[in-house]
């Protein structure tokens, strides 16, 4: 950093006028001080209307700078690793793993407002081969099309799930066949099983006596909640013909009624609470 010019002390000058500056005896003022003083003299000598316009422009410029810079600075703040976050799972195969990025952000905000869970409502994603995979406790996967895992990704996902991780999958219409195929590779000795309406996930925070909500109609089949277990723990929860994550997205994305969005957000909260407490 360069040296900043010293700010002149008004007590050194007579008459309080910047137009008649007479420094006390002492060392000669620095070049920076002289330039600073000349700038102040120029500003003070401006006609009132020009002076007001000049100051107004400075104020507006500072306001614009703050409006643009503050969000960037806030976003750059180091995150607290203990805060809960939902991480989107990136996959190959052509499916739109990235759709509706506002979904998990809105769900996290809702969870933060309706539980005591300390959340970090940001959108982020990870792929199965990333070295950061195991720093994410809750993965979310969705999409409309094909899902393909490599052999290494299959092994990594199995290790992740059997080591304490959790995966929530939501069929956004068109993902079902591919997702079931790939999960069979991850757990070849299991099939996805429908959870009974009495299962704890449907009652752990908000009540869902009929299981998953019907957020979008798709093929107008009954909504289902299915799971895969490891040593008695639900490690994969999959919603089919339900699509609550569409209800988490910003209101203008799908145009869902507010009552439908609230129901979807409440259901998502149950998923989070269950994953963190079981």
DSSP letters along 89-158, please? EE-BSS--TT--THHHHHHHHHHHHHSS--B-----EEETT-TTGGG-SEEEEEESS--B--HHHHHHHH
pLDDT of residue 73: 42
> Does residue 125 register a pLDDT over 70?
yes
What class, spelled out in words, does domain 87-277 have in CATH?
Answer: alpha beta
pLDDT of residue 48: 52
CA distance 190 to 254: 35
- For the chain, give every domain's residue range: 10-75, 87-277
- Tell me which of 213 and 32 has the higher pLDDT: 213
pLDDT of residue 8: 41
Judging by DSSP bridges, how do beta strands 193-194 and 224-230 pair with one another?
A: antiparallel
Using a 10 angstrom Cβ sphere, with 0-12 exposed, 13-18 middle and 19 or more buried, the burial of residue 61 is exposed
CA distance 95 to 143: 6
Give percent above pLDDT 70 in the chain. Answer: 71
pLDDT of residue 81: 74
> Does residue 70 register a pLDDT over 90?
no
**Local structure of residue 162 (DSSP, 8 states):** H
pTM > 0.75: yes or no: no
């Amino acid at each position: 950093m360069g040296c900043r010019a010293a700010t002149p002390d008004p007590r050194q000058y007579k008459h309080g006028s910047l137009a008649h500056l007479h420094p006390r005896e002492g060392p000669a003022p620095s070049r920076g001080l002289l330039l600073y003083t000349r700038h102040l003299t120029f500003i003070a000598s401006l006609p009132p209307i020009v002076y007001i316009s000049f100051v107004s422009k400075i104020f507006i410029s500072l306001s614009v700078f703050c409006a643009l810079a503050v969000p960037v600075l806030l976003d750059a703040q180091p995150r607290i690793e203990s805060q809960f976050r939902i991480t989107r799972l990136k996959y190959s195969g052509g499916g739109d793993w990235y759709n509706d990025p506002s979904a998990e952000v809105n769900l996290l905000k809702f969870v933060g407002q309706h539980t005591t869970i300390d959340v970090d409502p940001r959108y982020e994603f990870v792929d199965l081969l990333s070295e950061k995979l195991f720093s994410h406790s809750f993965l979310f996967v969705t999409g409309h099309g094909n899902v393909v895992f490599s052999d290494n990704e299959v092994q990594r996902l199995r290790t992740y799930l059997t080591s304490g991780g959790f995966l929530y999958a939501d069929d956004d219409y068109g993902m079902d066949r591919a997702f079931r195929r790939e999960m069979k590779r991850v757990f070849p000795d299991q099939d996805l099983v429908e959870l009974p309406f009495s299962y704890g996930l449907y009652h752990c925070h908000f009540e869902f006596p009929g299981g998953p909500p019907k957020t979008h109609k798709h093929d107008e089949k009954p909504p289902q909640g299915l799971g895969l277990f490891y040593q008695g723990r639900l490690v994969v929860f999959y919603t089919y013909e339900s699509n609550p994550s569409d209800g988490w997205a910003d209101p203008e994305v799908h145009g869902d009624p507010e009552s439908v969005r609230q129901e979807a957000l409440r259901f998502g909260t149950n998923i989070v609470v269950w994953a963190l407490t079981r």
